Amino acid sequence: MPGPGFPVANKILYKYEQDRAYRLHRQKVHGSRPTVNNKKPQKHPHLILQLKKIQLEEERQAEVDHENRLLLQKMTRIMKEPAKVDSWNEYQSKSLNLPLREKQLREIQMENIGLAKRLEHTRPVIRTEEMEEEYQQKKYLQMLWNENAKDFDMVIPRHQRYRQLRKIKEAELAREREEKANSGEEGKKDALPPIGKNTEPQTIRYNGPDTQRSTRSDNGDKERKSDDGSSMDRSHFSSQVDNDAKALFKVAKGLAQPDDVFIRNLVRRTQSQRTQILERFKEMYSLDLATELLSGLGKDWECLINALLKNKSVGTAKLLHDALEEGDYQTAVEILFTCKNSDLTELKDTYRKEYSQSLDMTINEKTEDPERCLLATLAKGGRDESNKVIDSAAETDAEDLYESGDGRWTSDTGKFLKLLKTRNNKHIILVLNLYKINNKGTEATDDIKRECSRTYSEALIALINCLHGPENHFADRLFRTMSPTNSEFVNLLVSRSEIDIPAVRKAYKKKYDAELMDDIRHKCQHTTTKVLLEIANKTPPDWPKTKTTTQKKWRGANPVPQQTKPPIKRVEPSSKGAEQKHKHNPLAQSSMRIAADTSIQRREEEKHKHIEKEKRKEDERQKKNISGTIKPANNFNPSTDCERLHDALLETPLDEEDIIDVLTTRSNGQRQIMKNKWSTKYKKYTLEAKLKEKLSVDHDEVITGLMMTPSEYDAYCLKEALDGLGLSDPILVGILSTRDAKEMKEIKEIFKKEYKKDLVQELTAHVDPDLADFVVLLCQGEREQDSEVNGQTAKKDAEKMNKNGRVDVVDKPFRDVVLKKNHAQVKLTFSEFQKLTGSDIYQSIADTVVGETEDAYISLVSAIEDPVKFYAEKLFTSFGGLGTNEDNIVRIIVSRSEIDLRDIKVKFQQQNQKSLSAMLKADFPGDSKNVLLAILGDN
């Protein structure tokens, strides 16, 4: 080869040689080996796995789990057991200016004492002697005028009338002399009227509407009466019996208006005076007054005539007999309880005479226990009518009544009926008040409603109402029976008008916010309304008068002058501009008072609406229960179920099978009834707390789900999800995607009430704004709840959703489909979208959004498209991964047990070639496995 700088003979061969030399060089370089070993070091397994570290972590985690379990058991025991420290703050707050007010009060009291002392030494300025003389003179002149005035009464010659009056007066004077002779006062002479020396007796006519307020007989004794004439002196009334009988005879024959005569001659008389009139009428005319009035006035006056003229016990016996015949135990209890022992004896005698059978025999034949025991106890009589109360005995009776348990209200040997036999009313009232304290504020009537049947509880509550105040009871009866043709109403009004009608009026006003007179005037549009109003406005003769303070005068020389107020001048509005004045005058406006019947009607309507609302809610829940595994039990009896649970929880060892059978074969609505019944029968613990106490800790989650209402459990699951994974939690996604508007509204209200937070704000607190808007719309629950599909609508919606082969999650057509259409329609629309674009809806969402927002959108849309498939997939994923997610499995199975759990089981089998029950048996570690299998129906 030529050296450098010399030309070559053949360039091709020279090129070949150069390439060959380069290749040999490359081979030598490539085949050379380093003198230093630079390979990777060998990997040793003990350095990679670090078994000791894993062991330490597992031991630490086991120790933490053990401490957590101990802490949880302690917390559970603390929450279940009653508090050992009294946390009641029962103290009276003191005002800071109390000493100053006490000082001012003492000064006022001293001034009042001085004023009272000065009033005690006053003497009257008005001379009553002069007024009495003037009154006697006026009465004498009026008598002369009455004797000479024209009268349309039955004409009796004057000499015969004076002879009758003289005989009556002589008999009265002779009787009075005998009485005075016996008392040693015969030497005293009777004072005569200052004017007029005529010795004939003075009488007062009752033919006109106006009557005299007071009279004085010839012997000088005053005879006072009230405006209604009910308190007329008997000696004076004996001279008016004839006039009353004559006036009533005119009414019976149609010669006089019945209203005024009834008011003057019957209503303003007592029962004994009406009896005298009845007897005198029969002596004078040989006729029965009641029969004559009925024949003359007709049926419109029948109830009123019978109530005024017939014996009170006869009407009461008729009411009692009708009540027992019709099964109206409430009325029967009210009648028997409000009768005193003497009245009850008379009522029994009258009942035997009227119906040829004793009252006790009728009660035994017409009633059954427990009503029979109650009525027999009341009919027996002999109850304590004193007002003596012993506090220690009342406390003992209250404790015995509270601890008696079943049968304390219904049994003849029960504590309440024993109290009714042996104790007076005040004692029983105190016992019921102490019972409320022992029962943590729960009224005895609430326990009676829960523990007794409806008819017996109504009768017993009526008795307790009479116990607390008979006037309230009679006010309620007057309201319920208010009709002029109702004999019960008229009899009750007449009987109470001689006993306590003012108290009844006051109770009526307090209970119904309406005057008794106004309601009678408004409801009783009848010919007897005027008389009924007079009866209702009557004041009994022995009714205590209201105390009015009268100013006493000084007895000194200079009397204290009285300050008189000038009379109030009434300005009558002129015709011009009168409407404008009344328009701005609040006193001229119509009253806005709600009548008693309106207020009661509103309360009844609200109660009826609440019952209808609960019924509709349960019906809607059962309509959705198409493929649920739990259905309502046909022969559901809450008392029996509570007893079964109670016996099973007390057994040793625990009868877990019986407990599971009761809990998983009743619907949620039936479990709520059973829970309330448990609270009434066994007051110390709630059913949920007792189950958690007796069963293991692993059962807590499933017991919580079974004992809560669906909305309460959804709110609880949402709270747990927000504290954990948030929008990535499958339970949260499922609840938001499958609940309607009513359910979402109820869930939000419960969440706000229980956890003091707004659900929507908690859901949208830490998410993308677009996703937050989507969740807000989802929480409104505007989805259609039917299952109808429309292919044309699905194609149109798919075309609207298509945005160049993709879908925009913030676009209105997409959200309208996902948020408003039913699940079947959404699924069909997604299918049409895939046909139209060739891509899956989820791939389109993944191409539009990224990150956690993408996962949230895909989860929500998949749950909306097919809830059954969504839950089946989430159940399967809950069994795999790092471990079994027990909470998710329990919450899905319990929440869907009355909706579509059967379909979820079928879908789970199709997707995984393994049943859900088999997966539970193999991979579920908790003790609540048997409860979940029973809910699935595969135990």
pLDDT in tens, 344-372: 777 788 888 778 778 888 887 778 777 77
For CA atoms 923, 928, 929, 933, the dihedral sign is negative
Q: Which long-range contacts (CB under 8 A, 24 or more apart) does 111-118 make?
A: 118/554
Q: For residue range 716-774, what is the model confidence (pLDDT) as tens digits? A: 998 888 887 777 788 888 888 888 888 888 898 999 888 888 888 888 887 777 788 88
Cα separation, 500 vs 489, whole angstroms: 15
| Spatial CA neighbour of 703 closest among 932, 464, 403 | 932
Return the H-helix or E-strand segment holding 222.
Answer: strand 222-224
pLDDT at position 161 is: 64
pLDDT at position 502 is: 86
Q: For residue range 36-83, what is the model confidence (pLDDT) as tens digits? A: 888 888 888 887 888 888 999 999 999 999 999 999 999 998 888 876
CA–chain centroid gap for 531, Å, is 38
Reported confidence tier of residue 406, pLDDT bands at 50, 70, 90 = low
CA angle 760, 762, 763 (to 5 degrees): 65
Reported confidence tier of residue 584, pLDDT bands at 50, 70, 90 = very low
pLDDT at position 882 is: 57
Burial of 899 (0-12, 13-18, 19+ CB in 10 A): buried
914 vs 161, which has greater pLDDT?
914
Percent of the chain surpassing pLDDT 90? 6
Q: If you search the block for the tokens 């008598």, which residue do you land on? A: 143
33 vs 165, which has greater pLDDT?
33
Burial of 345 (0-12, 13-18, 19+ CB in 10 A): middle
The C-alpha torsion from 448 through 452 and 458 to 461, rounded to 10°, is -20
Q: How far is CA 225 from CA 9, 32, 246, 308, in A?
A: 170, 147, 22, 21
pLDDT at position 9 is: 86
Phi/psi for 849 (5° steps) reads -120, 160
Mean pLDDT, range 645-663, rounded to an integer: 85
Q: pLDDT at residue 586 above 60?
A: no
Please spell the DSSP secondary structure of 339-373, one letter per residue.
Answer: S-HHHHHHHHHHHHHHHSS-HHHHHHHH--TTHHH
Q: Which of 35-44, 82-91, 139-148, 624-633 is most confident?
A: 35-44
Q: If you search the block for the tokens 């049943």, which residue do you land on? A: 915
What pTM was computed for the model?
A: 0.41
| Spatial CA neighbour of 924 closest among 880, 870, 873 | 880
| Spatial CA neighbour of 747 closest among 713, 708, 722, 785 | 713
Mean pLDDT, range 184-193, rounded to an integer: 44
For residue 370, whether the previous peptide bond is cis, meaning omega lies within 30 degrees of 0, is yes
Do 836 and 799 contact (CB within 8 A), yes or no? yes
Mean pLDDT, range 577-596, rounded to an integer: 44
DSSP single-letter state for residue 192 = P
Please spell the DSSP secondary structure of 550-600, one letter per residue.
Answer: -PPPP-SSSPPPPP-PPPPPP-PPPSTTHHHHHHT-GGGSPP-PPPHHHHH
Q: How far is CA 891 from CA 416, 732, 734, 895, in A?
A: 46, 10, 11, 6
Residues 6 or more apart whose CB falls under 8 angstroms from that of 112 comprise: none
